[in-house]
Amino acid sequence: MSSVRVLKKALRKELAGKLRVLSKETASQDSKLVTEKLLSLREYRNSQSVSVYISMDGEIDTREIIRNIFETNKACYVPRFTGSTTMTMVKLTSWDDYLNLPMNKWNIPEPHADEVREDALDKQGLDLIIVPGVGFDVERNRIGHGRGYYDRYITKCAEWAALNNRLPPKTVALALQDQMVEIGRIPLEPTDRKPDVLLTPCEELRDAHKH
């Protein structure tokens, strides 16, 4: 294992311990603040086709975001994992569809592997990808769970967009305040992708050169 991977593993473990003792009240308040920021964000308001992660403990709760996607008549796509390296985004048809999803091995709702569902890249592609993570810093660096699903998927969407003469989807990451670490703590690899925007309970962080 490379030294960067060893450092990432140690940081994930440290953050997992910190998030394990985070009170439900704090997590809920952070989620409420970040959700409000996202729903008023230009990138979200302008989007028609959104992929959103289904949250677990230690992440911004995305239930109200999923509800809003349906209320505002956007298309809603959620992750489906196939094998240890591949993630696709498949369509949910309604709020009830979301509520009835089966639990996967991580105890997160996930569309069943055998179920026929529209893939986000079958038709119009995505305008916006809402990205989870384990830790972040104010330069929008991100550390995920270590499998590289989102880094690979964002790259795949950019390639799909180029082939189909479309703009690549915007990426917005959501962070609890306790997921934020000091600059320099997140070990970086060439395959790591920064989100376009990072929303925390306190800040909206974006590339100063992009508007």
What mean pLDDT is predicted for residues 102-116? 91
Q: Which of 79, 86, 83, 51 is nearest to 65 (CA)?
A: 51
Place 1 in a pLDDT band, splitting at 50, 70 and 90: low
CA atoms within 13 A on the CB side of 189: 15
**By the 8 A CB rule, do 123 and 160 touch?**
no
Other CB atoms within a 10 A radius of the CB of residue 102 amount to 10
- Specify the pTM: 0.95
Do the bridges between strand 75-82 and strand 49-52 make them parallel or antiparallel, or are there none, so unpaired? parallel
pLDDT at residue number 142: 97
Annotated binding site for substrate, which residues? 54, 59
> CB under 8 Å to 23, separation ≥6 — which residues?
none
Q: Which of 85, 79, 176 is nearest to 126 (CA)?
A: 79
What mean pLDDT is predicted for residues 145-158? 93
Judge whether residue 78 has pLDDT over 70: yes
Q: What is the pLDDT of residues 117-137, one digit of tens each?
A: 999 999 889 999 999 999 999
pLDDT at residue number 210: 59
Angle between helices 24-40 and 63-71 in degrees, nearest 10: 30
Ordered by start, the domain boundaries in the chain are 3-206
Mean predicted lDDT score pLDDT of the chain: 94
Q: What is the pLDDT of residues 11-53, one digit of tens each?
A: 999 999 999 999 999 999 999 999 999 999 999 999 999 999 9
Judge whether residue 211 has pLDDT over 70: no
**By the 8 A CB rule, do 127 and 170 touch?**
yes
DSSP string, 61-103: --HHHHHHHHHTT-EEEEEEEETTTEEEEEEE--HHHHHTPPB
CATH architecture of 3-206: 3-Layer(aba) Sandwich (3.40)
Do the bridges between strand 170-174 and strand 128-131 make them parallel or antiparallel, or are there none, so unpaired? parallel
Higher pLDDT, residue 138 or 5: 138
pLDDT at residue number 28: 97
What share of the chain in percent tops pLDDT 70?
A: 98
Judge whether residue 194 has pLDDT over 90: yes
Annotated binding site for ATP, which residues? 8-12, 142-150
Q: What is the pLDDT of residues 154-185, one digit of tens each?
A: 999 999 999 999 999 999 999 999 999 999 99
